Structure 1
């Protein structure tokens, strides 16, 4: 493959894996080179509108982690969003061409089909089917780690410095450096 260079990459179009989506649902296609700031600016503006009730984030390959990051940011900023996650595989088609010129002057092309992981995440302001595979309810308003009715701990009483301890060798092992120092 060192004599070839990638000319074109395309992904096969496939419908969203969610049934009964309204016609005006916002679909955010996250790519590897997408900037999270740009994606979130657009998505937050659209979800801020009263008539936008659902949004779908989708990404494949190296964009999967960026897709999940966008969803988590939106859930934290807006709160109260129901989520359904679907994971699948998509086929990417890559076209490569030979760098070296052929004696006849023709360029040799190579087509590669790759199956890459893909994720589609539906966020909704309205309740979704809780029995659907991949459903996550909205987060609790106070967060997951706070007990109701329990007083919060005062962090000022905790020491910010740890205690340093000297590493000691077990008595059964002899340290050759210590032996030399004693002589």
Structure 2
């Protein structure tokens, strides 16, 4: 698979008018192929394998929040990066999720060709599925290179997206508590 991707990257380099045999580009197709495989490794991961049983019984029924989790993804429209942070909150219903698993879930979905709106929803649904929470809230704030490096070239634009499930959607007070805590 790496060799096939490398051949495609070599064709792209040629298509750009460059010489893939010049010193600085000799190994670029293979490096680019490996980088792309890493940046899209989420396709080869599953929620069950990532969580690996790290859901624990708990009497806590108050909001749990993990905020400022860095994320890196590739825009499915231009294959350019978007970079930001993700905040996840949930209301446990007898079960809590191991802390590192939030970052792993975020990365699994972010490491796919993606749009931010769908990424936000996928993370929320996964946390809901794994924990059986009474509610889940996810907010992502990201800068998109497709807006900064090309097109409109707006350097300071930030996209924010949110998905609220269960009590976070149904109860304004719960949603507001979450939003206040992630500020």
TM-score, normalised relative to structure 2? 0.29
TM-score, normalised relative to structure 1? 0.29
Bigger radius of gyration among the two: 1
Write 1 or 2 for the structure with the bigger share of helix. Answer: 2
